[in-house]
């Protein structure tokens, strides 16, 4: 094939995965037989599943990942185009309800190897130490079964593995710095910096964001073309597809794409024996495994457990507490749009690059607990058009005029902590999907604390937009990020899994993904999800065969296996500020 300038075009190869212009997986993938009892079977190769797969393979376990979506060949499958990237999302039917229903489907959950880390914007802040004990401090929500200090080594480790770019001094929560320098700001970042500065609000410039600010290994640095949420064909944005999956395959893991887990099988001894799954031709298979880890995210994970009900677990597998599906959380994600007389061109630069966490913690002057962050958003034109419809009721010629004005607008997002409530939950609907599996019904209701927090977050963000110089400011109410619905805890009566993700009811069944988070803070969840996955992997590795042979629970904290990180993970010089 000839390129327009007459050179030979190196078309994508079928026998290897191209993960960008420079990154390729060219080792043949190991294949396990279904009759073979693998050590770990992971359902979902997304943010958490990708990290687990890599760590367990590197530690020498036989590990298979079942992934409902495709194994992307990014050069062949991805486009730098907003409309052409919808296939990155989980768009299978779901039902949404409650008094404040969540928008589900597009722009919500990922599907395909890498999961949500493929389309995330890659903002990668940590939770604050206070997030782990909000019940103790504020009397709301619930405390985590682990402390900030227990996840800290994994934050530091994953920040190197992705890696995360950001300032040398990040002042909020537990102050720390980033090994990779911050990114330059685009028009939308400049607006947030200007608005915050005018109001005396400290602001973090150029990160923390899991986008390469300098080339590393076979991944090039960011070229500021703004298609991060469309996957990033360049490979500069971290996703487990480019950070962890290549190493997993080189170390002998198998990924079975387009394989939809349908039911987890429980043996007579009360231990799981494997997973039934459909292949792309809707043929049913069964993969045997010594242990199963479900990493399907906050809706599909509880759905799979509920769909795996069996004698002795009539309400769903591992659901003796009745908590499977409950305490689902989304973050308040109101988008505030401001029009500027001068050009902004918000598409130029990663959407995620400036934020403030100044309003993150509980403020006794507020009449609500917990807080919110303010971040750059920068939608591309289709998303912007939808926001104009919602925020200004623009339609017809009016909408067209707004869209022609796109280059003059900047958008900031509120990221607000909605508390965990038992009535926000995933259940099974009567309707079935193409495989004949009951689909998820998601019910969501805002409570008084959430409503007050959203009101304040929205007003403060609009104030910042005005302070930045916007002549018109409007907003769209929406939510961002889903977590919870299989929460971790010490008490089997009020949680689904223990502090390592092992279900309280079934000793060789684990859940590890965003669904285990008991609360969510006002930090984007991706870094925390990957850090939790790395910690669980260290636990499983330190337990060796005990997980497969014993029902005893050793709750000893595992050592950090830094040596099991993907090679070339830069291991020097993270500024650690006491």
Ligand X SMILES: Cc1cc2nc3c(=O)[nH]c(=O)nc-3n(C[C@H](O)[C@H](O)[C@H](O)COP(=O)(O)OP(=O)(O)OC[C@H]3O[C@@H](n4cnc5c(N)ncnc54)[C@H](O)[C@@H]3O)c2cc1C
Which residue ranges make up the site for ligand SF4 (CB under 6 A)? 211, 222-228, 232, 234, 236-237, 350
**Which segment (152-160, 339-347, 388-396, 526-534) binds ligand X by CB under 6 A?**
526-534
Do you know the residue count of the chain? 578
Q: Which of residues 118-137 bind ligand X (CB under 6 A)?
A: 119-124
Determine if 517 is a binding residue for ligand X (CB under 6 A).
Answer: no
Residues 145 to 164 in contact with ligand X, rule: CB under 6 A: none
Mask for 273-302, x = binds ligand X (CB under 6 A): ----------------------xxx--x--
Tell whether residue 304 is a contact of ligand X (CB under 6 A). yes
d(CA 277, CA 205) in angstroms, rounded, equals: 45
316 touches ligand X by CB under 6 A: no
d(CA 171, CA 435): 49
How big is the CA angle at 528 (ends 526 and 534), to the nearest 5 degrees? 105
Residues 6+ away with beta carbon under 8 Å from 5: none
Q: Which two tokens stand for residue 387?
A: 């926001």
Q: Binding residue for ligand X (CB under 6 A) from 134, 253, 261, 497?
A: 261
Rounded-to-integer distance, Cα 404 and Cα 383, Å: 14
Q: How far is the CB of 347 from ligand X (least distance, A)?
A: 15
Question: Can you tell me the distance from the alpha carbon of 165 to that of 209, in angstroms, rounded to the nearest whole number?
Answer: 5
DSSP 317: T
Four-point Cα dihedral 103, 108, 111, 115, nearest 10: -160
Do 420 and 450 form a contact (C-beta atoms < 8 A)?
A: no
Local structure of 290: helix, strand or coil: strand
325 contributes a contact to ligand X by CB under 6 A = no
Alpha helices in 282-405 (DSSP H): 297-307, 381-392, 396-404
Min dist. Cβ of residue 232 to ligand SF4 (A): 3
Question: What is the C-alpha to C-alpha distance for residues 370 and 362, in angstroms, rounded to an integer?
Answer: 4
Q: Supply the minimum distance, in Å, between the C-beta of residue 82 and ligand SF4.
A: 12
User: What is the closest distance, in whole angstroms, from the C-beta atom of residue 300 to ligand X in the complex?
Assistant: 3
Applying the rule CB under 6 A, the residues between 31 and 70 that interact with ligand X are 43-49, 66-69
CB of 213 to ligand SF4, least distance (A): 10
* 270 vs 505: CA distance, rounded Å: 9
**Treating both helix axes as pointing N-terminal to C-terminal, what angle do 396-404 and 381-392 enclose, rounded to 10 degrees?**
130
Residues 408 and 254: their CA atoms lie apart, in Å, by: 48
Buried/exposed 470-498: b ≥16 CB within 10 Å, e otherwise? beebbbbebbbbbbbbbbbbeebebbbbb
Contact of 495 with 150, CB cutoff 8 Å: no
377 binds, among ligand X, ligand SF4, none (CB under 5 to 8 A by kind): none
Q: What is the C-alpha separation between 489 and 311, in angstroms, rounded?
A: 25
* Residue 226 binding partner per list ligand SF4, ligand X, none, with a CB distance cut-off of 5 to 8 Å that depends on partner kind: ligand SF4
Nearer to ligand X, 211 or 547 (CB): 211
Query: Token pair 């007579």 is at which residue?
Result: 268
CB of 46 vs ligand X, minimal distance in Å: 2
3-state helix, strand, coil in the chain (%, to 5): 25, 20, 50
Site string for ligand X, 92-111 (x = CB under 6 A): ---------------xxxxx
Instruction: Give yes or no for a contact between 208 and 178, defined as CB atoms under 8 angstroms apart.
Output: yes
By CB under 6 A, residue 484 contacts ligand X: no
Q: Which does 513 bind (CB under 5 to 8 A by kind): ligand X, ligand SF4, none?
A: ligand X
The residue whose two tokens read 């991805």 is 78
Which range, of 323-331, 495-503, 525-533, 555-563, touches ligand X by CB under 6 A? Answer: 525-533
**Beta-sheet pairing, 284-294 with 509-511:** parallel
Calpha distance 145→506 (Å, rounded): 19
Nearer to ligand X, 243 or 470 (CB): 243
Q: How far is the CB of 190 from ligand SF4 (least distance, A)?
A: 16
Calpha distance 226→346 (Å, rounded)? 9
Q: Which one, 308 or 408, has the nearer CB to ligand X?
A: 308
Verify binding: residue 335, ligand X, rule CB under 6 A.
no
Which of 117, 157, 424, 508 contacts ligand X by CB under 6 A?
Answer: 117
Closest to ligand SF4 by CB, 205 or 330: 205
Q: Residue 260 or residue 470: which is nearer to ligand X going by CB? A: 260
- How far apart are alpha carbons 33 and 438 in whole angstroms? 28
**Which is closer to ligand X, CB of 61 or CB of 297?**
297
Nearer to ligand X, 240 or 508 (CB): 240
* Residue 237, binding choice from ligand SF4, ligand X, none, Cβ under 5 to 8 Å by partner class: ligand SF4
Which CB atom, from 254 or from 470, has the smaller least distance to ligand X? 254
Q: State the nearest-atom distance from the C-beta of 137 to ligand X, in Å.
A: 24
C-alpha Rg value of the chain to the nearest Å: 23
Residues 196-235: x/- map of binding to ligand X (CB under 6 A)?
A: ---------------------------------x------
How far from 77 is each of 7, 73, 92, 277, CA to CA, in Å? 22, 6, 19, 24
Which C-beta is closer to ligand X: that of 360 or that of 368?
360
Residue nearest to ligand X (CB): 46
Q: State which residue, 96 or 107, has the beta carbon closest to ligand X.
A: 107
Which letter does DSSP use for residue 123 in this model?
B
Residues 396-435 that bind ligand X (CB under 6 A): none
CB of 63 to ligand X, least distance (A): 15
211 binds, among ligand SF4, ligand X, none (CB under 5 to 8 A by kind): ligand SF4
**Minimum CB–partner distance for residue 14 and ligand SF4 (Å):** 25
Task: Using alpha carbons, select from 346, 495, 491 the residue that is nearest to residue 408.
Answer: 346
CA distance 52 to 512: 9
Contact partner at residue 110 from ligand SF4, ligand X, none, CB < 5 to 8 Å by partner kind: ligand X
Q: How far is the CB of 202 from ligand X (least distance, A)?
A: 20
Using CB under 6 A as the criterion, which residues of the chain lie in contact with ligand X when the complex forms? 43-49, 66-69, 90, 107-112, 115-117, 119-124, 229, 260-261, 295-297, 300, 304, 352, 481, 513-514, 524-527, 529
């Amino acid at each position: 094939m000839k390129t327009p300038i007459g050179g030979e075009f190196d078309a994508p190869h079928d026998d290897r995965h191209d993960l960008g212009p420079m990154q390729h997986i060219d080792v043949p993938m190991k294949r396990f037989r279904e009759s073979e009892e693998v050590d770990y079977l992971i359902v979902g190769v997304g943010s958490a599943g990708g990290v687990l797969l890599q760590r367990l393979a590197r530690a020498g376990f036989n590990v298979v990942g079942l992934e409902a979506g495709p194994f992307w060949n990014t050069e062949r499958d991805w486009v730098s185009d907003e409309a052409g990237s919808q296939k990155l999302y989980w768009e299978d039917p779901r039902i949404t309800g409650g008094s404040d229903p969540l928008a589900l489907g597009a722009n919500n959950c990922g599907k395909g190897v890498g999961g949500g880390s493929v389309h995330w914007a890659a903002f990668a802040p940590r939770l604050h130490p206070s997030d782990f004990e909000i019940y103790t401090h504020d009397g709301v929500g619930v405390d985590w079964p682990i402390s900030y200090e227990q996840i800290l080594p994994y934050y530091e480790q994953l920040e190197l593995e992705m890696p995360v770019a950001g300032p040398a001094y990040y002042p909020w929560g537990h102050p720390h710095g980033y090994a990779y320098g911050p990114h330059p700001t685009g028009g939308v970042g400049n607006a947030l910096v200007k608005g915050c500065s005018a109001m005396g609000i400290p602001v973090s410039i150029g990160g923390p964001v899991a986008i390469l600010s300098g080339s590393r290994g076979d991944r090039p640095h960011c070229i500021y073309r703004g298609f991060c949420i469309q996957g990033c064909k360049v490979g500069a944005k971290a996703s487990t597809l480019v950070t962890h999956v290549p190493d997993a395959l080189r170390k002998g893991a198998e990924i079975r794409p387009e394989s939809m887990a349908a039911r987890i099988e429980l043996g007579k001894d009360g231990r799981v024996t494997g997973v039934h799954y459909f292949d792309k031709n809707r043929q049913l298979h069964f993969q045997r495994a010594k242990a199963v880890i479900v990493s399907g995210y906050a809706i599909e994970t509880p759905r799979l457990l509920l769909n795996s009900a069996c004698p002795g677990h009539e309400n769903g597998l591992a659901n003796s507490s009745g908590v499977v599906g409950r305490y689902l959380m989304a973050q308040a994600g109101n988008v505030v749009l401001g029009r500027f007389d001068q050009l902004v061109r918000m598409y130029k630069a990663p959407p995620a690059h400036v934020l403030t966490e100044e309003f993150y913690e509980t403020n006794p002057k507020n009449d609500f607990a917990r807080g919110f962050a303010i971040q750059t958003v920068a939608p591309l034109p289709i998303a912007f058009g939808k926001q104009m419809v919602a925020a200004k009721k623009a339609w017809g010629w009016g909408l067209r005029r707004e869209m022609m004005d796109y280059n003059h607008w900047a958008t900031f997002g509120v990221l607000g902590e909605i508390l965990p409530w038992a009535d926000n939950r995933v259940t099974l609907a009567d309707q079935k999907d193409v495989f004949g599996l009951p689909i998820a019904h998601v019910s969501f209701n805002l409570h008084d604390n959430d409503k007050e927090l959203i009101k304040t977050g929205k007003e403060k963000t609009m104030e910042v937009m005005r302070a930045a110089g916007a002549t018109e400011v409007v907003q769209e109410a929406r939510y961002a990020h889903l977590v919870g619905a299989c929460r971790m805890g010490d008490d089997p009566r009020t949680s689904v899994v223990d502090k390592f993700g092992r279900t309280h009811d079934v000793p060789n069944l684990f859940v590890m993904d965003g669904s285990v988070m008991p609360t969510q803070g006002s930090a984007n969840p991706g870094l925390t999800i990957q850090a939790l996955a790395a910690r669980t992997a260290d636990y499983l590795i330190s337990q060796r065969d005990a997980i497969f042979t014993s029902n005893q629970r050793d709750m000893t904290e595992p050592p950090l296996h830094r040596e099991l990180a993907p090679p070339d993970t830069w291991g020097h010089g993270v500024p650690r500020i006491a």
